Structure 1
Amino acid sequence: MKQKILVVETNVANFAGTTHLTGLWLGESAEFVSVVEAAGWEVAYVTPNGGYVPLDPRSMKDTYVNEITMKTYLKHDYQTLGLSRTLTPTQIDPKEYAAIYFTGGHGVMFDFPDNQALAELTKTIYTNGGYVCSVCHGIAGLLNVKLTADNYLIAGKKVTGFTTSEELLSGNSKRVPFLNEKVATIHGAEFVKERPFKCFVVQDGQLITGQNPESPKAVAEKLLDNLNSQN
Structure 2
Amino acid sequence: MANILVVVTNVSKYPDLERATGLWLGEAVHFVDEMDKKGYKIDYVSPKGGYTSIDPHSLEKDQMTGLDWKYYQNNDFLNKLGTTLAADEINPEDYDVIYFTGGHGVMWDFPDNEKLQKVAMKIYENGGIVSAVCHGAVGLINIKNDAGEYLISNKKVTGFANSEEIAVGLDKVVPYLTEDKLVKRGANYVKGDDWASFTVVDGHIVTGQNPASGGEVAKEVINILNSKL
SS of residue in 2 equivalent to 1:148: coil
| TM-score, normalised by the number of residues in structure 2 | 0.97
Gaps of 5+ in 1: none
Q: Report the equivalent of 1:91.
A: 89
Q: Report the equivalent of 1:18.
A: 17
Q: Which amino acid aligns with 2:226?
A: N
CA distance in 1, matches of 2:2, 2:192: 32
Q: Which amino acid aligns with 1:37?
A: D
SS of residue in 2 equivalent to 1:137: helix
Contact 1:112–1:141, Cα closer than 8 Å, also in 2: yes
Contact 2:23–2:55, Cα closer than 8 Å, also in 1: yes
CA distance in 2, matches of 1:29, 1:56: 12
Q: Which amino acid aligns with 2:39?
A: G
CA distance in 2, matches of 1:186, 1:226: 27
**Residue-by-residue CA offset, 1:38-87 (whole Å, 9 max, x unaligned):** 11111000000101111111101111111112222322221111x10000
Q: Report the equivalent of 1:140.
A: 138
Corresponding residue to 1:209 among 207, 211, 221: 207
RMSD: 1.0
Alignment of 1:149-160 (within 5 A): 149-160=147-158
CA distance in 1, matches of 2:147, 2:11: 28
CA distance in 1, matches of 2:180, 2:60: 29
Deviation at 1:20, TM superposition (A): 1.5
| TM-score, normalised by the number of residues in structure 1 | 0.97
Contact 1:49–1:88, Cα closer than 8 Å, also in 2: yes
Contact 2:92–2:122, Cα closer than 8 Å, also in 1: yes
1:75 to 2:74 alignment: yes
Q: Report the equivalent of 1:6.
A: 5
Contact 1:51–1:86, Cα closer than 8 Å, also in 2: yes
CA distance in 2, matches of 1:41, 1:69: 19
Q: Report the equivalent of 1:55.
A: 54
**Residue-by-residue CA offset, 1:90-113 (whole Å, 9 max, x unaligned):** 221111111000000000000000
CA distance in 2, matches of 1:94, 1:221: 22
1:177 to 2:175 alignment: yes
Q: Report the equivalent of 1:29.
A: 28
Identity over the aligned pairs, expressed in percent?
Answer: 45
Gaps of 5+ in 2: none
1:196 to 2:199 alignment: no
Q: Report the equivalent of 2:64.
A: 65
CA distance in 2, matches of 1:178, 1:108: 12
CA distance in 1, matches of 2:166, 2:116: 28
Contact 1:31–1:72, Cα closer than 8 Å, also in 2: no
SS of residue in 1 equivalent to 2:85: coil
Contact 2:204–2:224, Cα closer than 8 Å, also in 1: no
CA distance in 1, matches of 2:198, 2:41: 25
**Paired residues, number:** 229
Q: Which amino acid aligns with 2:6?
A: V
SS of residue in 2 equivalent to 1:215: helix
Q: Which amino acid aligns with 2:191?
A: K
Contact 2:51–2:84, Cα closer than 8 Å, also in 1: yes
Contact 2:157–2:200, Cα closer than 8 Å, also in 1: yes
1:123 to 2:128 alignment: no
